[in-house]
Amino acid sequence: QKEVEQNSGPLSVPEGAIASLNCTYSDRGSQSFFWYRQYSGKSPELIMSIYSNGDKEDGRFTAQLNKASQYVSLLIRDSQPSDSATYLCAGRNAGGTSYGKLTFGQGTILTVHP
């Protein structure tokens, strides 16, 4: 079982719709979670970080964390074609020897069609 799993894609939504990306993790020691966006041929770009249970909103993006269910999600409201990319979920263990190492999911490809 992978430590971080993302819902299998690809995910296709129409422009203006809400895109919902989901992620589960198995390591209960994971304390912090991150969503990165990666365009084809480019490196990952940080979108959101979330550390506490509940919702965190930043513009059109909302990250949700439920530590009891070991579940992280990212909602993108009013999806735009420019949001089409691979979205990577990552967890970070607070363990002292990990130096902040991230464990990534396999990524979900999102396509927003006009």
Binding site for another protein (CB under 8 A): 32, 34, 36, 42-46, 49, 88, 99-102, 104-107
25 with 34: CB under 8 angstroms?
A: no
Answer whether 80's CB lies under 8 Å from 12's CB.
no
Nearer to another protein, 10 or 16 (CB): 10
- Nearest approach, Cβ of 101 to another protein (angstroms)? 6
> Cβ of residue 61: shortest distance to another protein, in angstroms?
15
In the chain, the amino acid numbered 64 is Q
d(CA 9, CA 84): 12
Nearer Cβ to another protein (107/111): 107
Name the E strands within the chain: 4-6, 11-14, 19-25, 30-38, 45-50, 54-58, 61-66, 71-76, 85-93, 102-104, 108-113
Minimum distance from residue 83 beta carbon to another protein (Å): 19
Q: Judge whether 94 and 67 are in contact, CB under 8 Å.
A: no
Task: Supply the minimum distance, in Å, between the C-beta of residue 16 and another protein.
Answer: 28
